[in-house]
Amino acid sequence: MSIPVISAVSDIGRQKLADMLVSGRAFAIEKFVIGSGGHDPGNPVIALTPDPTLQTLPGQYFGPKDITNSFLLSPTCPQFDCFISQLEAVGSMSNIGLIGRINYSPIPGDSLVGSYFLFAVGNFPLRVKTDAEQLTISVSIQF
């Protein structure tokens, strides 16, 4: 089964994009995390609007795990496929976070190389995953 999710870039993600243009420090989206804080508690079929000021995923209980596949849907819309196997992330889920890692800097000895940050957050209606199912969450970002 697959769940399509459109995510919002976090403020930290936007800062890292701007820093990349200015300093040449580069990053890649490599991992994802799963949480249970993306739905309206009063009406779980409603996904909340993602908060761009987040630094950690609300209700995170799974991950980080490597992203399975990534590609461009269009020149301005990347998609990240996040596979969850049968015994992983069992329980209530309603949000996903994409995690970036700084992998290059032109600054010798830059202490930020290798550091991780929450790049984007996508919320969806509450869903309960059982230990008997596999799931792919396809996360896209529109720039």
Q: For the chain, which residues make up each domain, given as ranges?
A: 2-141
pLDDT tens digits for range 29-59? 999 999 999 999 999 999 999 999 999 999 9
Output the pLDDT for position 8.
Answer: 96
Output the pLDDT for position 1.
Answer: 76
Output the pLDDT for position 37.
Answer: 96
Beta strands 60-66 and 69-74: pairing type? unpaired
User: Does an H or E element contain 12, and which?
Assistant: helix 11-23
Provide the whole-model pTM.
Answer: 0.95
Output the pLDDT for position 30.
Answer: 98
pLDDT tens digits for range 82-130? 999 999 999 999 999 999 999 999 999 999 999 999 999 999 999 999 9
Beta strands 60-66 and 26-35: pairing type? antiparallel
